[in-house]
């Protein structure tokens, strides 16, 4: 493929993706979709994809982000794979201020039950790169990311790589108050989510990302439903996880023991200091 890069083929195909004023012309939209598929099959080198993505102030990134929502199924799949490659190599300035519809598009990809595992992993990779920059986290939460990630985690069966990637993304989202509130308010219920946090652990078996998410959420304060969440921490102390995980659960209890102990559902035996 290097010879095609030197001949300018990748640049030509990329220029078709960023065609302007095509909103009402179906034939032009079809060309954009096909060009997206072709560019991904050309597999540009990291140097070439960086150059293409950063030209014209990130115009290719904006176009691909738009395709995530309005393109054909194949085009959306290949746009996701291209954006994964792009976010691995572009300068931080392009990651820190992505197009407004990027997060909406990635969330739609993750919600699509027809998406292939490789496409979902690519979407998660994009989020990992983008959410590493704090200002993007609120945008992702606003796009509904937290709810989608929780639902995928609850449904996940045995794919450790996906599970750990989603928990890491959720940990980043919970760095914002909006993210923590979305976790607590999810319809799946705190107990079910808490159990998933203990169940999806990183390679060391000592808590991993799932426990860190729980810690972040519970560190946010007692608040509404604090006693109920404290009760789940008690459950973690009693039966869940490794010795280290139980120690973490005890630490969580200690953070808000005074507030949680006022709840009628909080066990009296845990109302005293350890």
Residue that finishes a domain, picked among 82, 115, 143:
143
Same-domain status, 71 and 32: yes
Same-domain status, 39 and 107: yes
Whether the model clears a pTM of 0.75, i.e. scores above it, the answer is: yes
Instruction: Collect all residues with Cβ–Cβ distance below 8 Å to 240 and sequence separation of at least 6.
Output: 195, 198, 246, 249
Residue that finishes a domain, picked among 143, 167, 183:
143
- Single out the residue of 181, 172, 255 nearest to residue 213, CA to CA: 172
Same-domain status, 138 and 181: no
- Cα Rg, the chain, nearest whole Å: 22
Per-residue tens of pLDDT for the chain, all 274 residues: 678 787 889 999 999 999 765 555 677 889 999 999 999 999 999 999 999 999 999 999 999 999 999 899 999 999 999 999 999 999 999 999 999 899 999 999 999 988 999 999 999 999 999 999 878 999 999 999 999 998 898 887 767 888 889 989 998 998 888 988 888 787 765 556 666 665 555 444 444 566 677 667 766 544 444 445 555 555 554 555 556 556 656 666 666 566 655 655 555 555 544 4
Same-domain status, 160 and 271: yes
Domain membership of residue 72 as a residue range: 1-143
Q: How many beta carbons lie within 10 A of that of residue 158, not counting itself?
A: 6
Residue reference for tokens 């005293």: 272
Which whole-number Å values give the CA distances from 66 to 23, 29, 75, in the listed order? 11, 11, 11
Same-domain status, 102 and 219: no
Residue that finishes a domain, picked among 123, 143, 163:
143
Same-domain status, 182 and 91: no
CATH of the domain at 45: 1.25.10
């Amino acid at each position: 493929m290097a010879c095609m890069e030197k001949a300018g083929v990748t640049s030509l195909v990329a220029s078709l993706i960023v065609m302007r004023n095509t909103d009402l012309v179906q034939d032009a939209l079809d060309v954009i979709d096909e060009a997206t598929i072709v560019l991904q099959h050309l597999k540009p080198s990291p140097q070439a994809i960086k150059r293409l993505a950063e030209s014209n102030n990130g115009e290719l990134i904006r176009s691909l982000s738009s395709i995530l929502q309005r393109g054909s199924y194949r085009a959306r799949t290949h746009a996701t794979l291209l954006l994964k490659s792009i976010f691995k190599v572009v300068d931080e300035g392009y990651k820190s201020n992505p197009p407004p519809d990027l997060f909406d598009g990635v969330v739609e990809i993750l919600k699509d039950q027809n998406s292939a595992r490789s496409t979902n992993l690519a979407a998660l990779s994009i989020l990992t790169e983008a959410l590493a920059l704090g200002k993007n986290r609120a945008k992702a939460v606003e796009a509904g990311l937290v709810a989608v990630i929780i639902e995928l985690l609850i449904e996940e069966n045995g794919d450790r790589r996906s599970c750990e990637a989603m928990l890491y993304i959720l940990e980043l989202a919970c760095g914002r108050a909006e993210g923590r509130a979305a976790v607590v308010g999810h319809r799946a219920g705190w107990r079910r989510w808490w159990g998933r946090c203990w169940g999806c652990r990183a390679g060391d078996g000592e808590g991993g990302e799932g426990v860190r998410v729980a810690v972040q959420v519970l560190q946010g304060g007692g608040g509404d439903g604090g006693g109920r969440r404290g009760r789940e921490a008690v459950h973690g102390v009693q039966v869940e996880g490794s010795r280290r995980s139980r120690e973490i659960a005890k630490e969580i209890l200690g953070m808000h023991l005074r507030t949680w102990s006022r709840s009628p559902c909080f066990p009296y035996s845990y109302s005293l200091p350890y």
